[in-house]
Amino acid sequence: MSSIVLFGPPGAGKGTQAERITDTTGLPQISTGDMLRAAVKAGTETGKLAKSFMEAGQLVPDEVIIDLIKERITLPDAKDGVMFDGFPRTVPQAEALATITEVSHVIAIEVPDERIVERICGRYSCAACGSVYHDTFNPVPSEGCACGQWQEKRRADDNEATVTSRLQAYHEQTSPLAAWYRSRGIFHQIDGDREIDAITADILAALN
Footprint on this chain of ligand ADP (rule: CB under 6 A): 8, 10-16, 32-33, 36, 53-54, 57-60, 65, 86-87, 89, 93, 119, 122-123, 132-134, 137-138, 166, 192, 194, 196, 199
Smallest distance, ligand ADP to C-beta of residue 105, A = 17
Q: How far is the CB of 169 from ligand ADP (least distance, A)?
A: 7
CB atoms inside a 10 Å sphere around CB 201? 12
- Catalytic site residue from 119, 123, 154, 184: 123
The nearer residue to ligand ADP, 36 or 108, going by C-beta atoms, is 36
Give the contacts of 89 (CB within 8 A, at least 6 positions apart): 32, 59, 65, 169, 170, 173, 174, 177
Distance CA 117, CA 28 (A): 28
Which CB sits closer to ligand ADP, 59 or 81?
59
- 166 as an active site residue: the answer is yes
Shortest distance (Å) from residue 135 CB to ligand ADP: 8
Which of 20, 51, 72, 155 is catalytic? The answer is 155
| Residue 164: CB atoms within 10 Å | 13
> Sign of the CA dihedral 39, 82, 203, 143?
negative
Residue 14 is a catalytic residue: yes
- Active-site residue among 72, 89, 154, 194? 89
Catalytic residue among 154, 166, 182, 184: 166
Active-site residue, 20 included: no
CA distance 58 to 60: 6
Distance of closest approach, residue 141 Cβ to ligand ADP, in angstroms:
13
Q: How far is 20 from 105, CA to CA, in rounded Å? A: 17
**d(Cα 35, Cα 169) in Å, to the nearest integer?**
19
Active site residues: 14, 89, 123, 155, 166
